[in-house]
Amino acid sequence: MEYFYLLILVFLLLLACSDLFVGVSNDAVNFLSGALGSRIASFKTVMVVASLGVLFGATFSGGMMTIARTGVYNPEMFSFENLMIVFFAVVITEVTLLNIFNKLGLPTSTTVSIVFALMGGGVSMAVLHLLSTGESLLNLGQYVNTTRASILIFGIICSVPIAFVGGTVIQYFCRLLFTFNYQRLYRYYGALFGSLSLSAIVFFLLFKGAKGSALVTPEVLHFLNTYTFELMACIFAGTLVAFQLAIMMFNLNIFKIVILAGTFALAFSFAGNDLVNFIGVPLAALDSWNIFQASGQDPANLMMTGLREDPQTNPLYLLTAGSIMVLTLWFSKKAMHVVRTTINLSSSDRGDSEQFGSSLLGRLVVRHTIALNGFVQSVLPEDMKKVLEARFEPLPVKKNEVQLPFDAVRASINLVVSSILIASATALTLPLSTTYVTFMVAMGSSFADGAWDRESAVYRVSGVLTVIGGWFMTALAAFTTCGLMVTICYYGQLPAILIVMSATVYFLVKENFFSKDDLVAEKQDASTDPFVIRQRLNASIDHIFARSIAVFEEALDQFFDGNLKGLKKAKAHALEAYDEVMKIRHEYYTMARQEEGVNQDVCHYYYRALTNMKEVSLSLETIVRMIHDHVANSHRIYKGQLQQDLYSLVSSLKSIEEVLTFYKNEGVMDVQRLDRRMHRTHEAIDQMQANLISRIGEEKLSLRSTELYLSILQLVRELLNRYNIVFLMQKELNDQCNRALLENEQKTGEEETFRSETEDGLLSRLFKK
């Protein structure tokens, strides 16, 4: 039996390494987005600074390890046997959930995951123990540390509004002070801003966080506590003078120092506060194993009162964990994927291509906010409104200049405010969600900056609500999943644990080493070269036309089979096809925003062609949804000739697809052959509409069935008409490109002839001489 618990312990320690990898991939957004989004320094510089912050911060996390030991449950009420099962279930649950959220590219809270997993596992084990001993479930309160658990949950929930309001207010006043043209004013206020920021970082990281460090001796801690005011005054005055002199003599960019210091501080705070989420439970299991080994008692009778003692975490464990976190920062592609999510949501760029769609709640929030803003604008005096508008006037984007997601002022506020809030929580041994804090500070600062204009506000708000909803879903999923896992392992014992271990290893290997998702695919450069546009449009027409036919055929197949589940997949495929067309069409907007080298005729061809393809994709998505609802409502499914006629349309569309050779032959195609096939398809649709009149009475078709059939025919007719326009646009673009090539060839030939004649003349004159 002893080897059974040793197996669990070894597996948990190995899984802790994976948990560090997964957790850092999820939480790297917390301290990287500010510096990377503002591009204040090179990528390598930011990564080195963040790595040092993580490594040093890991040594300050020793005091947080009590959360996994006594933060949610009372260990003296659990036996060693039961508590090892709880530890096993908690780690399995956390790693699995974080992998799922990373795959979706959503930042979630590792703190929420670990706290609610511990709570779900502890409650489940307590209920199972009470049922097995015949005790009343009213004694459940003796097993759960309700007071401490309530504080943890309350702190996590309160961190959301505090972080958002704090980020909004501080960013508003800093922007009011510096404006967007901060390079002009930071010579006067930059030294004070930098000194205040660095002093606050040092105070909360060193003076408040030193008591949790495994490397700070009691003597040093006593010295810091005794002379806090004197030391902080020296730090503030020294940095103020040094910064002001550096600005005057060397034109030093204070914001660069603040952002890099904030990156270090936030990475430091993250490691100090969140390391318990990754290795706290495995280390608690290790301490439980040591207590069991020293006691010599039966595992079912040994109560884990020893976990009440203050943990003496080995600094080597913390440094090893910090090293793994640093390696993850440098080599995890998923980390960069999650970073892009938060940067996009807080970006100042226009809302022409948002990551999230709109939601009803998001629309309501934006609508009421606009109404409130209108009321405030009506109350403010005109002079004050003009002053405020001038202070918040964004700088115009220069030609060929890439617009950054946010500037140095906002990046500084994001990093400094977040690190202060997290470091404060760490000093109170409160496992605050670093993801909650950093994400909401970033959203608050972007809101204060006016990054959420009327073109993007509803999508940004919906995105924030989606991410926050994901966090609460994490809590529910962690609680229920861990409780279910504890129940399975409690009754299944060794066989169940071995099965869970195998499934977990398979899942982790599959997701992290054999995943086919391209998480780092970059957007294509929106080139305005006519030949590049022609190549992209040729490829797009072939691909989108073929995909539309495939979705249409899939919907008909599932419709005639009455397969509702298959129609749900067809709906999803139709929506994906529509989204793909919208992304390709968005390149036109990017082209149009370039002020130099833009061929408006070529862009016009591209836009009109993609607009018509978009309308076809939208109509297709609507028809597939109508077919799905038709089957879901158990209405009649077409048989006989009606079914054969619709399938014949699919064959006609495929015959048209065979003629499309734009992409392969650079625009050369058999136009007459294409026209004949499209004309025959139009005639077939006319005949089907005429035949439907007689079949309504013969086959007793209902009004719904008749309307659906006519809608399908109308979809095919619209597809033919719109793609006819697409082919026309494509032909004109190809003709223009071919004429340009011919002119270039003629010009090149004339230049070569002139050069040859000139050289011949020179040679003849030389020979005459």
For the segment 368-401, what is each residue's pLDDT rounded down to a tens digit? Answer: 777 877 787 788 888 888 888 878 777 776 655 5
pLDDT at position 350 over 50: no
pTM of the model: 0.65
pLDDT at 320 over 50: yes
pLDDT in tens, 570-605: 998 998 888 888 888 776 655 555 544 455 666 777
What would the mean pLDDT of 455-482 be, rounded to a whole number?
76
**Greater confidence, 180 or 714?**
714
Residue 522 predicted with pLDDT over 60: no
Q: Which pair of structure tokens corresponds to residue 132? A: 């097995």
pLDDT: which is higher, 203 or 311 = 203
- What is the percent of the chain with per-residue pLDDT over 90, rounded to a whole number? 7
Q: Identify the band that residue 183 occupies on the pLDDT scale cut at 50, 70 and 90.
A: confident
Cα 442 from Cα 414, distance rounded (Å):
6
The pLDDT value given to residue 523: 43
Highest mean pLDDT of the ranges 93-107, 186-200, 219-233, 555-569: 555-569
Averaged over 5-18, what is the pLDDT?
84
Instruction: Please give the share of the chain, as a percent, with pLDDT higher than 70.
Output: 78
Give the residue from 329, 320, 423 showing the smallest Cα distance to 23: 329
**Stretch 225-241: mean pLDDT, rounded?**
89
pLDDT tens digits, one per residue of 429-448? 777 777 778 778 888 888 88
Which H or E element spans position 437?
helix 434-448
Mean pLDDT is lowest, of 98-102, 379-383, 646-650, for: 98-102
Mean of pLDDT over the chain = 78
What contacts 24+ positions apart, CB below 8 Å, involve 144-148?
Answer: 144/72, 144/73, 144/74, 144/119, 145/70, 145/71, 145/72, 145/73, 145/74, 148/70, 148/71, 148/72
More confident residue, 344 or 70: 70
pLDDT at res. 766: 42
Higher pLDDT, 377 or 194: 194
pLDDT category of residue 238 using cuts at 50, 70 and 90 = very high
| pLDDT band with cut points at 50, 70 and 90 for residue 237 | very high
| Cα separation, 500 vs 737, whole angstroms | 61
What digits encode the pLDDT tens for the residues 675-716?
888 888 889 988 888 888 777 777 677 888 888 889 999 999
Question: Is the model's pLDDT at 649 over the cut of 70?
Answer: yes
Q: Is the pLDDT of residue 745 over 70?
A: no
What interhelical angle do 434-448 and 457-513 show, nearest 10? 150
In the predicted structure, residue 40 carries a pLDDT above the cut 50? yes
Contact criterion met (CB below 8 Å) for 266 and 36: no
Confidence (pLDDT) at 234: 92
Which letter does DSSP use for residue 73 in this model? Answer: B
What band does 557 get if pLDDT is binned at 50, 70 and 90? Answer: very high
